[in-house]
């Protein structure tokens, strides 16, 4: 595939991605960087090749979610590090799904990592780095009008469907989907008369926890957070098991 790089002005640079205006109205080019941050950017580093892997894993996950009827912002992968997506109004919530206790949930509640939850848990936090993405109750979301009742109920439905599908997909390649973070956006009609909620952002080992089903080995960003080493090898292993080609065009 030739390297397509048609894009407009830079709109935003985040911790792991850069967003550019797309050449068609209503589109954005999402560029995946090798930069890695953890603990609200207190720890910073580079994982060489991570951006390429995350671009391709995100493409794979979004295409498969579309196949089961989840609307997503994904349009097309443009090259190794970039994908074309629909421009949406991001709902400022991090939607976190947990199947197994880990990370901040273990810390906050004094629980052992690895405890299987009786049923999947959906948590919300405010997407605000300066505040450290604080946990929110549904009542906060409604009272502050971050999303309305109808949107919340759609977010719950879609998130459960995504979790059911992805747990099965990863289990099929010997990986436990422990937890992950999603973001949703409002995609407006051309005349701004209405909108639909769609899945936005990315899905990669940067925003989920993946444990090898047999050995428990971590195959996600916890390798970086906890100084375990072998980050890129772990991300590559996830791609390999999913059958994603990492042959680069760079």
Element (H, E) at 227: none
Q: Which window, 143-151, 152-160, 178-186, 235-243, contacts ligand 5GP (CB under 6 A)?
A: 178-186
Q: Is 235 in the site for ligand 5GP (CB under 6 A)?
A: no
- Comparison of 26 and 114: residue with beta carbon closer to ligand 5GP: 114
Chosen residue from 179, 231, 236, 237 binding ligand 5GP by CB under 6 A: 179
Smallest gap from residue 39 Cβ to ligand 5GP (A): 9
| CA nearest neighbour of 86 among 193, 10, 188, 191 | 188
Q: Is 36 in the site for ligand 5GP (CB under 6 A)?
A: no
Positions 206 through 225 that interact with ligand 5GP (CB under 6 A): 206-209, 221
Chosen residue from 21, 104, 120, 212 binding ligand 5GP by CB under 6 A: 104
| CA nearest neighbour of 235 among 214, 217, 250 | 217
For the chain, helix (H) and strand (E) counts, in that order, are: 6, 14
Euclidean distance between CA atoms 188 and 29, whole angstroms? 18
* Angle at alpha carbon of residue 160, lines to 207 and 124, rounded to 5°: 55
Residues that bind ligand 5GP (CB under 6 A): 94, 96, 102-105, 133, 179-181, 206-209, 221
């Amino acid at each position: 595939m030739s390297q397509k790089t048609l894009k407009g002005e830079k709109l935003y640079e985040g911790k792991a991605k850069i967003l550019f205006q797309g050449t068609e109205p209503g589109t954005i080019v999402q560029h995946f960087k090798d930069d890695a941050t953890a603990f609200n950017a207190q720890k910073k580093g580079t994982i060489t090749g991570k951006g390429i892997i995350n671009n391709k894993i995100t493409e794979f996950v979004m295409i498969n979610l579309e196949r089961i009827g989840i609307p997503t912002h994904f349009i097309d992968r443009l090259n190794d590090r970039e994908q074309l997506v629909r421009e949406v109004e991001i709902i400022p919530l991090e939607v976190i799904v947990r199947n197994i206790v880990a990370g901040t949930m273990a810390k906050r509640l004094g629980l052992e990592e690895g405890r299987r939850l009786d049923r999947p848990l959906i948590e919300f936090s405010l997407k605000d780095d300066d505040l450290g993405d604080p946990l929110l109750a549904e009542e906060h979301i409604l009272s502050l009008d971050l999303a309305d009742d109808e949107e919340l109920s759609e977010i719950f439905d879609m998130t459960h469907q995504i979790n059911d599908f992805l747990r099965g997909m990863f289990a099929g390649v010997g990986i436990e989907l422990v937890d992950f973070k999603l973001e949703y956006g409002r995609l407006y009609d051309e005349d701004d008369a209405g909108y639909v909620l769609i899945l936005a952002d990315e899905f990669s080992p940067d925003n989920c926890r993946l444990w090898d089903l047999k050995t428990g080995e971590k195959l996600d960003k916890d390798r970086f957070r906890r100084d375990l080493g072998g980050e890129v090898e772990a991300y590559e292993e996830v791609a390999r098991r999913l059958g994603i080609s990492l042959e680069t065009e760079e």
